Structure 1
Amino acid sequence: MKKFIGVAVFVLMLSLALIGCSSGGSSESSSGEETDEQKTISFIHWRGEDTEVFRELIAKFENENPQIKVDMTVYPSEQYQSTAQTLLRDGNSGDVFAAFPGSQFQVINRAGLFSDLTGESFVENFSENLIQAGQFEKKQLALPLQLVYNQPVYNVGLFEELGLTPPNDWEGFLALCETLKENGYTPIAFPGADIGPGQFMNSMMMNNAPDEDIIVKLENGEAKLTDEWWVKTLAQFKELNDKGYLQEDSLGTSKEGAFALMAQEKAAMVAAGSYAMASIKEQNPDIKLNLLAPITVPASEAVYEGIHTTTFMLGVNATSSKQEEAKQFIEFLSDPENASVYANSTGQHLTVNGVEYTSEELKDTAIWMEKHTRFQPRYLISNADIMNSATGSIQAVIGGTDPEKAASEAQKIVDQNIN
């Protein structure tokens, strides 16, 4: 009996030791527990493609701050949008976290999960006019790190070969697409299964509804998706599809599939944004890329040249017991030297002052910082159901639904949410 008890105790102790070793990874000390001198902060986000450069930066941060360890967890973007608030609630996850602007920012803010960063010295590392998406009632609750242009990426070499330049009106854009089609290329790779509707809608509607308060008006009932601005936008989506300017089965194409069509130079444009350029270049290092936005009105009526978003908004969890350590990590990431490593490794423009861009694409697309661009309208929709009704109506017209009918069905959802 004593022998049996001894074996059982040994097995129990061994099991507890194994549990202690497996739960921490780099976030714990060698004993499997956090020491008084060393604290572990949790960093959560959705940018899986940035994992390697973040690991490099985290290693540098830990070397410079040996009293702090960083445990990074990356979630799929769709899952992150729906679960981030839950992850943050108990304070055990996301001491530092990234948030999307718009509806997710509003949800997390209403839950009181943002620590106020107003007055922190590292806020000055960011361009003042590019961090407004992280503000609420004059408080800086989050700091957008990425400056993204949410408009089509195009193959510069292919355009030059065919003597094409980005057009400045809708008729010119249709003519451009026709030329590409006649020469055997898919004019626009459209990732209709995931990001396409939500990305392409921004530049397609920016001049059809130049009023920057149009989304606020939509959500309070002063504007409708059945109004001319949205019906016209849907009709133009349908026109692109009906004329064969989108690839076959565009609604079944993921972003990875659309990016591959660009990398293989089968498509001349991809309806995504500047964030797609690094992935395309990774598959085809020789391809030269830049950005354009379709102008859906006559040139004389165009107000905006493109779309920008300030996103990947860094916040500190208000329920965290390690807020000072979390702030140190954000300060580190916003240092121009470290931010430059992140920018050039990921192919991203940033909101940080003093970043040096070394890649050809980033230098070429830096001209968009001087253009008259509009903040992404889709991210201004605070209600997820309303946002989904708008993007769903785009998928509907590409699938064959009449634009007015698709707009009417979408507006019913808007009305339900307003009521």
Structure 2
Amino acid sequence: MRQGQAPQRNHMRTQLLLGVAFAATLLFVSAGCNKGGSSSSGSAEVEVAVFQGGYGIDFFEQAARDYEAAHPGAKVKVWGNPRVWEQLRPRFVAGSPPDVTWPGWGMDYWAMVYDGQLLALDEALSQPPAEGEGTWRDTFEPELLKLGQYEGKQYMLPYHYNMNGWWYDPNVFEKNGWTPPATFEDLLALAEKVKAKGIAPLTFQGKYPYYMISGFLFPWAISAGGIEALDAAQSLEPGAWNSPAFLKAAEMIAMLRDRGLFQNGAIGMSHTESQTEFLQGRAAMIPCGTWLHSEMREVMPPNAKMRFMLPPPLKDGHDPTNINIGIEPWVIPIKGKHSKDGIEFFRFMTSLTNAKKFVEQKGTLMSIRGSDQANLPEHLIEPAKAFANSEAIWSVEYRLWYPTLGKETENAMASLLSGEITPQQFVNRCEAEAERVRNDATVPKRKINR
């Protein structure tokens, strides 16, 4: 499963009761210099609580030692847990959170923003960075910063980020004389050649339908109707979920299904099962994020390779360079004892030097400008190029904002892939839930801003 799944939010926000929806994708820091926390004194012990997932906590522990060496008298305590959010929830409720934290995919960041639990970072971002000239804000990729803004304020900052797309094994393609499909029409032609070799053209993580929403539905809705079609759906605009663009995307998925281009049994596979099928050469392509290599490296066959590609768009489609990214959040709680010291530690962690180290040591992309000039692992070369060349960047936000809509679209996707419903029934089902949420006055409403 991806490093950061999207959390679900119920509306008992003051209790911060949290759930999980997608692997998502947010990495945030919230800070401000006019409220909360002591001033940076260099003598207080900064508490750093982190999600101990596939990237471990060793990098952050070493960063703490480096920070202490660069700031005599400073003390930083780093601790982590695979379910760190469970330990942090009661501390947020009690008003005794850590000074800076990456609380993981089980924490509901937006609930904390709505409840005033996090510092606004705007003043801190206007200050110099840990390295270089300009402001701290200038060091971040601006499109990623937008994902942490609410009502004109910057509440969250990205650290590493993931990119979703498709993957193929270049060795398998070269051996068979195949070329990665540049368009959907190319995909249909290639698929027949792949099937003739006894290989499934595509497999997918059927137990987790959000992979197919991000890997099939949204890219093809954008291709059919432009990035505006997706923005409208995530912003709950009436009729967006059953628009012609979304119907076309659903029809494209159904076409692959009806032509037998999906691997048999994929609908019942977990993420690791389908990904193993891909690595074993029984499927030619798979939708997944850039965490795929980190997740599967221990079981990769010796000669297997993986290379990233964008989902093939329609031949004359819109925004062919569109990419789907997700950031994973760190936050600085407003009631941390030493939140300003926490800001300074995170500022240090986001230096270009540290960002490049994280890329090279952990094999993921970073939100800091220039970090793509690090010694990139082979599997990140194409994602880095895609980010640099993209003219339309998007993130799956609606699952975070509207968890019931996220769940219903996933259920509907599973039904579409299994052939239980038609493309028209799929989009109508999604739009019906969108309308219900739209009319629910208790649900805070959000819009995509570009």
Amino acid at match of 1:291: F
- 1:92–1:68 Cα change, 3 Å: same
- Matching residue within 134, 137, 141 for 2:155: 141
- 1:364–1:215 Cα change, 3 Å: closer
Q: Corresponding residue for 2:277?
A: 261
Q: CA deviation at 1:296?
A: 4.0
Cα-to-partner distance string for 1:252-305 (whole Å, 9 max, x where unaligned): 2111112222222222212112221333344325433222223342x2333232
For 1:287 and 1:110, locate their aligned partners in 2 and report how far apart those are by CA, in whole Å.
46
For 2:177 and 2:318, locate their aligned partners in 1 and report how far apart those are by CA, in whole Å.
24
Q: CA deviation at 1:398?
A: 0.9
- 1:365–1:301 Cα change, 3 Å: closer
Secondary structure of 1:316 counterpart: coil
Cα-to-partner distance string for 1:201-225 (whole Å, 9 max, x where unaligned): 3323221231436444564443332
- 1:218–1:358 Cα change, 3 Å: closer
Q: CA deviation at 1:60?
A: 4.1
- Matching residue within 75, 78, 96 for 2:83: 75
Q: Corresponding residue for 1:49?
A: 54
Contact 1:230/1:407 (<8 A) preserved? yes
5 Å-filtered alignment, 1:6-17, equals: none
Q: CA deviation at 1:311?
A: 0.2
Amino acid at match of 2:101: F
Secondary structure of 1:69 counterpart: strand
Matched, 1:359 2:380: no
Secondary structure of 2:316 counterpart: helix
Cα-to-partner distance string for 1:174-224 (whole Å, 9 max, x where unaligned): 222222222122222200212423431332322123143644456444333
Amino acid at match of 2:117: L
5 Å-filtered alignment, 1:26-41, equals: 39=45, 41=47
Contact 1:44/1:94 (<8 A) preserved? no
Q: Corresponding residue for 1:199?
A: 214
- Which runs of 5 or more structure 2 residues have no equivalent in the other structure? 1-41, 69-73, 130-135, 440-450
Amino acid at match of 2:183: D
- 1:406–1:137 Cα change, 3 Å: closer
Q: Corresponding residue for 1:97?
A: 101
Matched, 1:166 2:169: no
- 1:176–1:98 Cα change, 3 Å: farther
- Matching residue within 272, 277, 292 for 2:309: 292
- Matching residue within 216, 222, 225 for 2:238: 222
Contact 1:115/1:318 (<8 A) preserved? yes
- 1:265–1:394 Cα change, 3 Å: same
- Matching residue within 404, 414, 419 for 2:434: 414
- 1:358–1:178 Cα change, 3 Å: same
Secondary structure of 1:151 counterpart: strand
Report the structure, 1 or 2, having the larger helix content. 1
For 1:185 and 1:153, locate their aligned partners in 2 and report how far apart those are by CA, in whole Å.
15
5 Å-filtered alignment, 1:17-416, equals: 39=45, 41-45=47-51, 48-51=53-56, 54-62=57-65, 64-65=67-68, 67-75=75-83, 88-93=92-97, 95-98=99-102, 105-120=109-124, 121-122=128-129, 123=136, 124-194=138-208, 195-200=210-215, 201-212=217-228, 214-216=230-232, 219-284=235-300, 286-297=303-314, 299-355=315-371, 356-372=374-390, 374-380=392-398, 382-400=401-419, 401-416=421-436
Aligned-CA RMSD value = 3.0
For 1:99 and 1:210, locate their aligned partners in 2 and report how far apart those are by CA, in whole Å.
34
Q: CA deviation at 1:38?
A: 5.6
- TM-score w.r.t. the length of structure 2 is 0.74
Amino acid at match of 1:341: K
Q: CA deviation at 1:249?
A: 2.4
For 2:234 and 2:214, locate their aligned partners in 1 and report how far apart those are by CA, in whole Å.
19
For 1:138 and 1:63, locate their aligned partners in 2 and report how far apart those are by CA, in whole Å.
34
The percent of aligned pairs where both chains have the same amino acid is 17
For 1:84 and 1:261, locate their aligned partners in 2 and report how far apart those are by CA, in whole Å.
37
Q: CA deviation at 1:116?
A: 1.3
Secondary structure of 1:313 counterpart: coil
- 1:414–1:319 Cα change, 3 Å: same
Contact 1:89/1:319 (<8 A) preserved? no
Amino acid at match of 2:417: I
- TM-score w.r.t. the length of structure 1 is 0.79
For 1:152 and 1:87, locate their aligned partners in 2 and report how far apart those are by CA, in whole Å.
40
Which one has the largest radius of gyration?
1
Contact 2:319/2:392 (<8 A) preserved? no
- 1:368–1:220 Cα change, 3 Å: closer
Q: Corresponding residue for 1:23?
A: none
Q: CA deviation at 1:350?
A: 0.9
- 1:87–1:166 Cα change, 3 Å: farther
Secondary structure of 1:167 counterpart: coil
Secondary structure of 1:108 counterpart: helix
Contact 1:295/1:302 (<8 A) preserved? no
Contact 1:40/1:71 (<8 A) preserved? no
